Amino acid sequence: MFIQNILFVLLCLPVLGAVGLLFFPKTAVRQMKLFALNISLVTFVCSLNLWIFFDNSTAKFQFVQHMDWLSVLNMNFYVGIDGISLFFMILTTFLVPVCLLISWQSVKHLVREFLVAFLLLESFMLAVFCMLDLLLFYVFFESVLIPMFLIIGVWGSRERKIRAAYQFFLYTLIGSLFMLLAILLIYFQVGTTDLQVLHTVEFSERRQLFLWVAFFLSFAVKVPMIPFHIWLPEAHVEAPTSGSVILAGILLKLGTYGFLRFSIPLFPEATIYFTPLIYTMSVIGIIYASFTTLRQIDLKKIIAYSSVAHMGFVTLGLFSLNMQGVEGAVLLMLSHGFVASALFLCIGILYDRTHTRLIKYYGGLVQTMPLFAFFFFIFTLGNLSLPGTSSFVGEFLILVGVFQTNTFIATLAATGMILGGAYSIWLYNRVVFGNLKPVYINQFADINRREFFILLPFVVCIFWMGIYPSIFLESLHYSVATVLQSIRI
Amino acid sequence: MAGSDPTGVKQNAFVEANGYAREVVERGFRLRPRTIGLFAVFGVFVPTMIYRGAVMDFDANDARYGRPRKKFL
């Protein structure tokens, strides 16, 4: 019974937690934090059941739940997961308690509102990954903007946070409006927005092109692909650490997930038609973002631009339209969820102590913060896709997939791995090695127990995915094969 | 493992000014012949070349395996 309703439970738990927080007295800050943390941990444990009870031998949507919503219009609350959405659900529930823990001391004002925003955000993100109705997918895809806008705008670090929040909100909202028009067009042609029904519909080639472009504008902003990426570094720099973790870990994946769930299977001919365009944008994204990363002097901007480069690899893999490329893209999305989040946590740890992210102030931290230096080293290795770490498996599979379809693009994209090594090692070298700069920072504190236990699971996950990726791939095979069946090359 | 008391940074005026100037790029940007030239090269010419390269590679593969040529943008 519990397993049958597990998706409803997962969607409702954070919302109930958010409602529960409203009954706490304003002064009970610690109790509110503990309550929110416990709710997020219970949600995480529940989400692990998805993996335990997931049947790898079928491509069908599992744990399916159906509830009438606008039955007159053939629009219903319809949820279910396959191998692709499974790991994003677990990644989401894993990162939320991490975010609550990392902001345990740094968020001091409007604590209740912060916790409510995070729990609602968790529920919306989970809904996006399991929604099987196109219109409700759009609703939750957009709903994510509201708590995230507040998290950046209210709990951000500096004056520019308002500008960054608006930029984030407007960019993504304008992009998504085109998707709403496309959904209306689909509804008036098919008469429903049920994804399972839409999979059986064949749109005319001309209509596919229009619909694909409308969906693309929405997803490309969210990924973000160059030249739609301007909002991302601003949002990362101004967001609190927990906001950056969620942005890098989950929100960027909503766009690539949308490509895989909707654009590729629903509009296969348009997908092939636009593949060289996506390849071009992805390759430029990888190379341009990597060079831009080398130039940055703000620690968060370095990770933000490296995220743009990594997401370039992901879109490249998705549009290689073969098993290796698409599975590599999904693995790299998951890996990036761990690596980039962990790097943002590390930068947050430094910021909590020094209140600056300018790299010029840092140097020689290995002498005073050895534990921090160790963790930062592991995550840097993950960021440069060293063999044995999670990113390597994803990038390697993507390059294998792309090489089969287009050697020219694969060769250009491979330079991104070298550039990734360059900016990652240089970042580590500047922050951790060299001389201490006591003129700027003369008191140091290594990571404490809370921070240690926040970072440790990330190390485990990065090596686990890097050393034994089969466990993830087994759940992906059938779902990815089903998506690719719609493409007849 | 020690604690995490915020210690703060002793700010340097030059570093801060440099950081600020790098951050507000929109205020320092001017449309000059050089910026237009850079845009023409890196915003138009290079992407066009990459796109053409990608399409040529697809066409070459189709020809090699005897498949009909795909229609691209």
Chain position carrying tokens 């399972």: A196
**Count of the separate structural domains present in chain A:** 1
The amino acid at A179: M
Contact B19 A358 (CB under 8 A): yes
Q: Within 13 Å and on the Cβ side, how many CA atoms surround A260?
A: 32
Contact A230, A167 (CB under 8 A): yes
d(CA A355, CA A359): 12
- According to the model, what pLDDT value does residue B68 have? 87
- B73 to A409: CB separation less than 8 angstroms, yes or no: no
Res B2 pLDDT > 80? no
Could you give the residue ranges of the DSSP H alpha helices within B1-45? 13-23, 25-28, 33-38
d(C-alpha B32, C-alpha B36), whole Å: 6
Burial of residue A102 (CB within 10 Å: 0-12, 13-18, 19+) is: buried
Closest alpha carbon within chain B to A360: B15
Residues of chain A falling short of pLDDT 50: none
Task: Give me A361's structure tokens.
Answer: 């102030």
Q: Say how many CA atoms lie within 13 Å of A68 toward its Cβ.
A: 3
Q: What is the DSSP string of A229-240?
A: -THHHHHHHHS-
Extract the tokens encoding A91.
Answer: 């990644």
In a domain, B3, yes or no: no
Residue of B nearest to A489 (CA): B70
Residue type, A52: I
pLDDT for res A442: 81
How many Å is the Cα radius of gyration of chain B?
Answer: 25
Closest to A235 (Cα-Cα) out of A148, A143, A322, A348: A148
A273–B6: do the CB atoms touch at under 8 Å?
no
Q: Do A276 and B4 touch (CB under 8 A)?
A: no
Question: Hey, what amino acid is at B46?
Answer: V
Residue at B9 is within a domain: no
- Quick check: is A34 in a domain? no
Chain centre to alpha carbon of residue A73? 32
Q: Which two tokens stand for residue B18?
A: 């440099």
Strand partners, A358: A298
Q: Could you give the CA distance from residue A176 to residue A326 in angstroms, rounded to a whole number?
A: 24
Candidates A393, A275, A415; CA nearest to A338 is A393
Interface test with B, best of A161, A163, A315, A356 (most B CBs within 10 A): A356
CA A26 to chain centre: 33
A369 backbone dihedrals φ, ψ, rounded to 5°: -130, 65
Would you call B4 and A409 a contact, using CB atoms and an 8 Å cutoff?
no
Segment B15-42 mean pLDDT: 87
From the CB of residue B63, how many other CB atoms can be counted at a distance below 10 Å? 10
Q: Is A451 on the interface with B (CB under 8 A)?
A: yes
Provide the domain count of chain B: 1
Question: Between chains, do B10 and A441 touch, taking CB under 8 Å as contact?
Answer: yes
**What is the predicted pLDDT for the residue at A69?**
80
Q: Is the pLDDT of residue B3 over 70?
A: no
- Chain A residue with Cα closest to B51: A280
* pLDDT tens digits, one per residue of A152-189: 999 987 777 888 888 888 988 888 889 999 999 999 99
Which residue in A has a C-alpha nearest to residue B71's C-alpha?
Answer: A273
In a domain, B47, yes or no: yes
Residue A57 lies in a domain: no
Total count of residues recorded for chain B:
73
End-to-end CA, chain B:
58
Indicate the pLDDT class of residue B4, thresholds 50, 70 and 90: very low
Domain range for residue A376? 282-489
A320 DSSP 8-state letter: T
pLDDT of residue A175: 86
Q: Are A82 and A202 in contact (CB under 8 A)?
A: no
How distant, in Å, are the alpha carbons of A23, A38, A89, A127 from that of A9?
Answer: 21, 15, 13, 11
Question: Interface pTM (ipTM) of the complex?
Answer: 0.88
Whether A348 maps to a domain, the answer reads yes
pLDDT in tens, A363-400: 889 999 999 999 999 999 999 999 999 999 999 999 99
- Chain B: residues touching A (Cβ < 8 Å): 1-12, 15-16, 18-19, 22-23, 46-47, 50-51, 53-58, 61, 70-73
Contact A285, A378 (CB under 8 A): no
Asked whether residue B23 is domain-assigned, the answer is no
Residue B24 lies in a domain: no
Which residue segment(s) compose the domain that B63 sits in?
A: 30-73
pLDDT of residue A138: 94
Nearest-10 Cα torsion for A192, A197, A203, A208: 80
Chain pair A-B, CB pairs under 8 angstroms? 111
Spatial distance between the Cα atoms of A320 and A415, rounded to a whole number of angstroms: 18
Note whether residue A333 is domain-resident. yes
